[in-house]
Structure 1
């Protein structure tokens, strides 16, 4: 029996789970799990120590999925001030082995372990077993990754930083929004992540409001967003408030915000699909897609996804799914950890 700590470390929250791995290293049993607000900790070590203090178990190995690039088992997190080094973590936590993997590499591993009831299909076509798989997901940021078949039923997983590539406006309105974000945040360019993410939802809303493209009609929503603007460290989640208002159709400004967000998301999904040609499937991860499933289904997502000029028909053969399991990254870190100790 081997005990493993798996972690999914994001800019907003970190999920830690302790699992028991069977002697055959092919299965695992969850033992204990806690979710922590990442910003409340200066480093991963005190969080894990607090986690272990609540159990009577002594784990041997760990695998942590990181929201940022992982280079030679080190990582400077993108949306946190943490710098993680696997060797340091191994020593300070008294573990035999620590593996760090990119969060979207973890999601990629997790996709391989998903069941059909953990997916919602947007485009249902048969997946090709010998073709690549692509994953992208909007959350705190925008993650992208892909899997390449190795020929033996297994896959090689690659995490990327594709969310930080340049955002390309597809309309005059998107151009106005991108220029607004540049001015407000004092940037000389904006990445796709600045639009297709939770922070992007907020920026789109602010742009539509401040540029007077859509007027505020729901005073409660407008006041709540302004309260958050005055105190961004408050418990208010403006992106969630905007998306919920759009789903309830109680605020035209929120509805337009989500329309623009979803179409930008679809365009980037199509861009990734053209680069990878993932006939094994394209998966939307991250909490935003799953929480806005009905909005996405009712939107022009597939139309925009396939709006790629002369090569548009290529995308008809790509299965497109939304991942419903919110802990797919954690599942991936478990599967990776099991196979790398």
Structure 2
């Protein structure tokens, strides 16, 4: 039997999945996660994955097609992953792995296609809105960076339109947010900042530093130590963002709570900006690792208040369905769907 391969290739983790035409989205043939940093290239990971799959299945397998979502820009079938120093070329990879049909797509494009595969249990609705059949769908996702995109219906199915909206200029809504942008510019020696500088894991830490240095809120000694270690050695120390959000959820640290409230409000406001640009009455989906891991904070009303608060056109936003994606494999689902079509 011929199989198809799907992958979600990131700087930290590579997740691969094997399916055949009779597989279902919830019942793959074989799935395995690999540490990306432990391998010199993607060829070694896929080769090891195929060998492990053959051992488990007790038979030789032939892969007819593959689609791999890459955490980097894909241009003319090639991509470079700076965190791994990997150069990936679709034609070269197909030849090395002897896969006749192989396609590389951006990881956020894969998430876009994965959205169309989600079941109701895979997301939580923040705003029911008034959904319309075949209307545009928008996606936004904060994690290491900030991804944005949208889907349009071509009369048969949805097509993903990737964007680089995360790198658009950050727009402050208040004096405090303007001071935040000035603070980050001074700290990073920049002349402008993008949305990604504040709406991302790094953005959480930047907001924390800003409030620490400009407000009267005192620091938790344990968290202060984590942040100081990260400031002195960001490449090797533990990222403080997770600790900040955990203390905010536990409501045990006023500075962490203020940090996350500001972050979630900024996230909701930018999601609302994306909604104004695309009018996604098919739904706006909040993906990325931060939203699902901080669902109590995303769902407490702060996000939606900022999302809907758009002055004279606020009524347009209240009719847009807003969902938080809970399935961490949404990108892999999109790659599966694309691999099956090759």
Q: TM-score, normalised by structure 1?
A: 0.92
Q: Please provide the CA RMSD for this pair.
A: 2.0
Shift of 1:214: 4.6
Residue 244 (1) aligns with residue 246 (2): yes
Structure 2, unaligned runs of 5 or more = 55-60
Alpha-carbon distance in structure 1 between the residues aligned to 2:75 and 2:140: 20
Shift of 1:299: 3.7
Alpha-carbon distance in structure 2 between the residues aligned to 1:185 and 1:145: 27
Q: Which residue of 1 aligns with 2:152?
A: 148
Q: Which residue of 2 aligns with 1:193?
A: 196
Q: Which residue of 2 aligns with 1:126?
A: 130
Residue 163 (1) aligns with residue 161 (2): no
Q: Which residue of 2 aligns with 1:65?
A: 69
Q: Which residue of 2 aligns with 1:5?
A: 5
Q: What is the correspondence of 1:248-327 to structure 2 with a 5 Å cutoff?
A: 248-327=250-329
Deviations 1:224-263 (A, max 9, x none): 2222333323362321111111000121111111111101
Shift of 1:163: 0.8
Structure 1, unaligned runs of 5 or more = none
Q: Which residue of 2 aligns with 1:117?
A: 121
Alpha-carbon distance in structure 1 between the residues aligned to 2:130 and 2:224: 45
Shift of 1:29: 4.3
Shift of 1:269: 0.3
Contact 1:11 1:140 in 2 (8 A): no
Contact 2:65 2:340 in 1 (8 A): no
SS of the residue 2:53 aligns to = coil
Residue 177 (1) aligns with residue 180 (2): yes
Alpha-carbon distance in structure 1 between the residues aligned to 2:242 and 2:176: 23
Q: Which residue of 1 aligns with 2:207?
A: 204
SS of the residue 1:304 aligns to = helix
Alpha carbons of 1:123 and 1:27: their partners in 2 closer, same or farther (altered >3 Å)?
closer
Alpha-carbon distance in structure 2 between the residues aligned to 1:65 and 1:322: 21
Residue 138 (1) aligns with residue 142 (2): yes
Shift of 1:18: 2.0
Alpha-carbon distance in structure 2 between the residues aligned to 1:76 and 1:254: 35
Alpha-carbon distance in structure 2 between the residues aligned to 1:294 and 1:16: 30
Deviations 1:18-75 (A, max 9, x none): 22333xx887842322323434444322332333343324433211112232222222
Alpha-carbon distance in structure 2 between the residues aligned to 1:131 and 1:14: 33
Alpha-carbon distance in structure 1 between the residues aligned to 2:161 and 2:150: 5
SS of the residue 1:55 aligns to = helix
Deviations 1:113-157 (A, max 9, x none): 1111111011012311121000011111111111101123x1111
Alpha carbons of 1:336 and 1:46: their partners in 2 closer, same or farther (altered >3 Å)?
same
Query: Which of 46, 49, 69 is the matching residue for 1:48?
Result: 46
Shift of 1:221: 1.4
The alignment of Structure 1 onto Structure 2 pairs a total of residues equal to 336
Shift of 1:13: 2.5
